[in-house]
Amino acid sequence: MTTGSWREELIHSLSQAHSAEQVFAQTVARVKALGFEHCSYGLCFAFPITQPKVRILDTYPAPWRTRYREQGYVSTDPTVLHGMKSPMPVVWEALSAHNRRLWEEARGHGLVHGWSRASRGELGVIGVFSVCRDVESISVKELDEIEPHLVWLSEHAHLGISQRLMAQAVPKKALSAREIEVLRWTADGKTAAEIGAILQLTERTVNFHVGNATEKLGVSNKTAAVLRAAMLGWLS
C-alpha cells in the first residue's frame, strides 16, 4: 500500500469512528504494519489545574500498565516530560539516562526500543504518542524511512482521540450568553454588585447566573467556573 493510499484510508476510517477506542485501534493496525509491537497514546487535559486528568490508551502488557499506574510513572516518565517541553520526536535511547528505574522495569516487560512524539491541541490539551518493540533497535536508516509515517500517525491519533475525549469532557449544558457575560466580568475582578451595575441587573440576579454557570461546569465556586470556562474557550 502506498503512503497516499493508507493515509486516505485512515482519514476515511477516522470519519467513521465513533469513539476514541476505535480511532486508537485504527492507529495500532498501522503501527504494527510499520514493524512495532506496541503503541500508546496518553492525553493530558488542562483541568483540573492541580491534578489534570490523564487518559491513556495502549497495547502494553497488563502487568506493566498496572505497575505504571501504581507507581505514578506518568509524572516522571521521560517521554511525557520531554513532550511537555517539546513537540520534537525522540527515540527512547536518547532519554535512557533519565529515570533509569522506569526504563529497567519497562524493558522487563518487553518495552525496549521506542519512539515518542507530543502533539498540542486546543484548550491546552497535550497528547503523547509512542511506539515500541522488544527486539531490534531503531537504526538511523530506518528512522529516516518511517519517521514521516510516525509523525503523521501521531497527528492522526491526537486529532481523532483528543476530539472524542474532549467531547466527553465538555459540559453537557452550554452556558447561556448572559452566564458567559457575567463570568467575563468576574474574570476581570468585578464583584457581583459591580457587574450588576454594569449590566443593569440586581446583585441577586448576577449571583443566580454565576450559580447556574458553576453548576453547569461541574465546579464548586465562581473562581473555578471562570477558569474552566476560559479553558473551554467560552470567554474569548
Q: C-alpha angle 172/118/64, rounded to 5°?
A: 85
Which residues are paired to 57 by β-bridges? 41
Q: Residue 216 is part of a domain; what is its CATH number?
A: 1.10.10.10
Residue 122: name the closest of 215, 230, 5, 13 by CA: 230
| Dihedral angle of Cα 92, 96, 99, 100, to the nearest 10 degrees | 120
CA distances from residue 19 to 105, 167, 168 in whole angstroms, order as listed: 31, 10, 10
Give the confidence band of 231 by pLDDT, cuts at 50, 70, 90. Answer: low
| Secondary structure letter of residue 120 according to DSSP | E
Give the confidence band of 102 by pLDDT, cuts at 50, 70, 90. Answer: very high
Give the confidence band of 169 by pLDDT, cuts at 50, 70, 90. Answer: low
Look at residue 202 and tell me whether its pLDDT is greater than 80.
yes
Span 90-108, average pLDDT: 96
Residue 61: name the closest of 43, 83, 37, 25 by CA: 37
Span 110-123, average pLDDT: 90
Span 21-29, average pLDDT: 92
Question: Rounded to whole angstroms, how far apart are CA atoms 138 and 142?
Answer: 6
Q: Do 208 and 140 lie in a common domain?
A: no
Q: Do 224 and 115 lie in a common domain?
A: no
Can you give the residue range of the structural domain that contains 219? 177-231
Which residues are paired to 128 by β-bridges? 42, 118
Look at residue 180 and tell me whether its pLDDT is greater than 90.
yes
Give the confidence band of 5 by pLDDT, cuts at 50, 70, 90. Answer: confident
Q: Do 71 and 91 lie in a common domain?
A: yes
Which residues are paired to 55 by β-bridges? 43
Span 202-231, average pLDDT: 87
Average pLDDT of the chain is 88
In a domain, 236, yes or no: no
Q: Which domain-ending residue is among 149, 169, 189? A: 169
Q: Do 25 and 119 lie in a common domain?
A: yes
Question: Rounded to whole angstroms, how far apart are CA atoms 14 and 150?
Answer: 17
Per mean pLDDT, which range of 118-122, 149-153, 193-197 is the poorest?
118-122
17 and 2 Cβ atoms separated by less than 8 Å: no
Q: Do 19 and 120 lie in a common domain?
A: yes
Residue 109 corresponds to which cell in the numbers above? 516487560
Look at residue 230 and tell me whether its pLDDT is greater than 80.
no
Q: Do 30 and 105 lie in a common domain?
A: yes
pLDDT of residue 121: 75
Q: How many structural domains is the chain composed of?
A: 2
Q: For 208, list phi and psi in degrees, rounded to 5.
A: -65, -45
27 and 38 Cβ atoms separated by less than 8 Å: no
pLDDT of residue 85: 92
pLDDT of residue 207: 94
Q: Kindly calculate the radius of gyration of the chain based on its CA atoms and give it in whole angstroms.
A: 22
Q: Do 106 and 55 lie in a common domain?
A: yes
